[in-house]
Structures are given as structure tokens and as C-alpha cells.
Structure 1
Amino acid sequence: MVHESAYVDQPSTIGAGTKIWHFSHVLPNTVIGKNCVIGQNCVLGPDVSVGNTCKIQNNVSLYKGVVLEDGVFCGPSCVFTNVNNPRAEIERKSEYRQTLVKRGATIGANATIVCGHTLGEYCFIAAGAVVASNVPAFALMAGVPAKRIGWMSHAGAKLGADLVCPLSGDKYREDNGTLVLVEQGKKDVSHG
């Protein structure tokens, strides 16, 4: 479904079940997976890749070099950059840097993602945070610049000191600055 006020430039690929809402613009050579929701006033592309079941809320621009894997949530007005040293009078396309957002990541409203970094699987970027370095999988990041303040579970719950997910019962352990699933819980929570 593409709203009548939205534009989709060709060539572009849009998966089945994807919805593109008011005043959004998909630029050429952009690939959007199945069952995604692209909110109002979004710009995607050119040459952007969006996985399946992603939700991109209102006022988000995904510029060349941004890659979202499956199940990524981009909160309202979050920001992606694609060059570290922009100038209005100097063309810097040769300096574009890729930003990879791994499966299941959540980016909060008004967060800024500085280009050239990878956001790990199921990480959670707090609203208003400024990410200027790579983010480990499952990390809960907040602040300016963003720092890890905790861990999130696969199900999207903040983990306490015991590293047991209150939603699923999944048990984790910390290993050299990473989070590792030790035992899957018994509670029925979809792991996508």
C-alpha cells in the first residue's frame, strides 16, 4: 500500500504487505522488505536496504549507506548521517560511510546515529541518544555520546542484575563485554 501523497521512484523494490504513508519518498535503487511500515514524511534512499518487518516512524530519513536488517524499529524523528564532515559547498559523496543496523534493533525517538558504525542485534538506543561508536548486541545505550547503561533481552525487556528476562525467562550471561543467551525461558514470547 502506497498512500497517494507518497512517491516511489523506480527502480525500487517493495515487499508484499508493506505500507508507505503520507508524504514519504522512496528514491531509486531502494529495497524495502515485506510487511514493513514506513510512516509519514520519511525519505528512503537512494540505494538503501530495509529488511522485513521493519517499522520506520514519522520524520525519519534513511540516506545512502544505511542498511536495516529484519525487525528494526526506528522511532519518530531519529536521525542517520552518512558523511562525517559535511559541507554545503563541497561534494562529499566519496566519503559516505555505511551504517549497519542489525536484526531486531530499536532506535528511540530523536536519537542520532553517526555514520560508519554497526548497531548490534536487539540493541536498544534510548530516545535522544547520540551513537558515535559501534554498539554491542543487546546493549542498552543512552546519553550524549551514548554509553552502555545496561542490557536488553531478545524480547525487549531491560535485564536486571540476574540477567534473566522478566518477559520470557531467557537467561543470559555477560562474557567480555557481550551478552550471551545461556538458556531459553519457558514463557511463550515470539523470537521472530
Structure 2
Amino acid sequence: MENVLLKYIPENALQPIVALIKMNHVHLKIVAERATRHGDYRANFDGTHIITVNASLNKYSFLMTLIHEIAHLVAYKKYGNRIKPHGVEWKDTFQKLMLPFLRPEIFPSQLLPLLARHFKNPSASSDTDATLSLALKQFDPPSGKSFIFEIPYGSIFTLDNGRTFKKIALRTKRYECIELSNGRTFLFNPNAEVNLVEA
């Protein structure tokens, strides 16, 4: 297990993560990329617990996602299955599990202040924290995509599912875009990655 995990997480996080996995009897599956989620936790009827994490994540995002999912398991065991998936019990558990990893030996110094701010009140996905998400993405391999905040107003872009949009305006913190096929308006977070067609 250690040799496999070392491909996906920072080296100095290996021993504490292995300890967390063993202590909580985690069955970990590293899976192909899923567009809608970074990871997943499932409690089975037979009492086993399965966590999946996308193999495509960079090592810092992978580590956060793995701890995020372990926090679901720990909160489930401690508080039962009636709690909200990302409610106060999960947030408290995630904060406590993550704290020992927020060190310069594990995360780059430029990420630590953003992580400290994020973990004062962790959200269901680090992607909703645009500043942290953008900082984490700098450790991804080049994708050839653009962030929506980077492209000019009036640009035409597509998503991976083939839908085509035009960037129109900034509304508070999100970008208003029109889907060209039906004229409907959608709001995109600034860290959304898109395929630029025409600037």
C-alpha cells in the first residue's frame, strides 16, 4: 500500500495517512478521473467502508480529497448516518484530521495560508473556494484549457461535454455566460476550466 500511495501524495504525508487508513479500516480505490467529483465515500451494508479518489489529482489535491473522504467515514462512525453529509460534524472531523498535515514539510509554503483560511470553515469541495482551487491547480500538469476568469468577455468556449457558451459579464464573484444552443444563462466560478474556441 505504501508504495502505491507514494505515487499520489507528498512523501512526508505517507506514514500519517497509512496510520489513518489502517485505524479506520479504509478500503481505498484509486480510480480513473470523474468529472463530477474528486472522491467518494460509501458505507456498505456488510459494515465495510469504501473510499475512492481520482488518480488524476495532483498530490496535494489527492491528499486533501483522501482526508475529506476519511472524515466522512469517521463522522459516520462517531455520529451515525443521520448527520448532513457536509454538516458541522463532518466539518469538525475534517478540520481535526487535516490539522496535523498543515505543515511546510507536506504542503508548499504558498498553499499553507490559503489552507489555514479554508479550514476555518471547510466547504463540501475545495473547488468552491476559488482562490485555493486556483492555487492547487498550479501543481496540475498542463491541460491546454483556460480558466474562465482569464478569457475576454465575448469569448466563445466549450465544456468537455460539448456544450458551447459565450462569456457575458461578471456578477459579484461569478461569470455570467449564455449557452448558445438555447440562450439560457449560467453562472461559472472563476476557476472553471474551459476550452476556448474564439476570443
Q: TM-score, normalized by length of structure 2?
A: 0.31
Rg larger for: 2
Higher relative contact order (CA 8 A, sep 6+): 2
- If each structure's strand is expressed as a fraction of its own residues, which one has the higher value? 1
- If each structure's helix is expressed as a fraction of its own residues, which one has the higher value? 2
